[in-house]
Structure 1
Amino acid sequence: MSYAERFLDGYLDAWRTNDPDSIRALFAPDATYRSGVRDLEPATGADAIVAHWLEERDEPGTWSYTGAVELQTEKAAVIRGVTTYTDGPKSGAYANVWLVRFDDDGRASEFQDWWFPQEA
């Protein structure tokens, strides 16, 4: 299994559980994380990423995701998908494109999510 496939599986598991240890395990200690294009200053460092994630968390059962690794090298990947929220202010479908760069251990050293509402 590639770093990208392992990251996607782990990310989805962490998203479903919001477990701090599962989130932290995905990222290098000095990783950067941007959860949207308007994040001008990324969360930097695994602890800051966990805090940011939990502050913006999606509750289990309020979303679904379909997607896959589109492009990958040993050190980077582009993952494309669709997130559908069934509840709350985010209700609707959103297209996602994730850029992930990996360190030598396969943890994300950089994560950037570009998302936008999908047209009906």
Structure 2
Amino acid sequence: MSNAERFLDGYLDAWATNDPDSVRALFAPNATYRSGARDLEPAFGVEEIVARWLEERDEPGTWSYSGAVELQTKTAAVIRGVTTYTQGQKSGIYENVWLVRFDEDGRASEFQDWWFQRS
């Protein structure tokens, strides 16, 4: 399994559970995390990423995701998907493009989510 495939599987698990250890396992100690294109100040470091993740978390059962790795190398990936939120303020369909860079251990060292609401 590639770094990108492992990251996508782990990300979806962490998203579904909001388990801090699952989130922590995805990212390198000094990783940066931007959850949107307008996120000018990234979360820096795995503990700040976990804190932001939990602050912005989506509750289980309120979303579904369909996506796949579009492009990948050993050190970077582009993952494209569609997220559908069925409840709350986010209700709607969103197009996502994730840009991910990996460290030598296969953990994300940089994550950027580019998204827009389709409907």
Structure 2-normalised TM-score? Answer: 0.99
Alignment of 1:87-102 (within 5 A): 87-102=87-102
**Percent pairwise identity:** 82
Runs of 4+ that moved beyond 4 A: none
3-state SS, counterpart of residue 13 of structure 2: helix
In structure 2, what is the equivalent of residue 58 of structure 1? 58
Q: In 1, distance between residues paired with 2:59 and 2:73?
A: 32
3-state SS, counterpart of residue 49 of structure 2: helix
* Count of residue correspondences: 119
Shift of 1:118: 1.2
Consecutive unaligned residues of structure 2, counting only runs of 5 or more, are none
In structure 2, what is the equivalent of residue 69 of structure 1? 69
Q: In 1, distance between residues paired with 2:24 and 2:55?
A: 14
In structure 1, what is the equivalent of residue 42 of structure 2? 42
Q: 1:111 and 2:107 equivalent?
A: no
Q: In 2, distance between residues paired with 1:58 and 1:101?
A: 24
Consecutive unaligned residues of structure 1, counting only runs of 5 or more, are none
What does the per-residue CA deviation read over 1:30-58, in whole Å, with 9 as the maximum and x for residues that have no partner?
00000001110100000000000000000
User: What amino acid sits opposite 1:6 in the alignment?
Assistant: R
3-state SS, counterpart of residue 8 of structure 1: helix
Q: In 2, distance between residues paired with 1:14 and 1:89?
A: 21
What does the per-residue CA deviation read over 1:3-43, in whole Å, with 9 as the maximum and x for residues that have no partner?
00000000000000000000000000000000001110100
User: What amino acid sits opposite 1:117 in the alignment?
Assistant: Q
User: What amino acid sits opposite 1:92 in the alignment?
Assistant: G
Shift of 1:87: 0.3
In structure 2, what is the equivalent of residue 7 of structure 1? 7
Shift of 1:65: 0.1
What does the per-residue CA deviation read over 1:94-118, in whole Å, with 9 as the maximum and x for residues that have no partner?
0000000000000000000000011
Q: In 1, distance between residues paired with 2:78 and 2:42?
A: 18
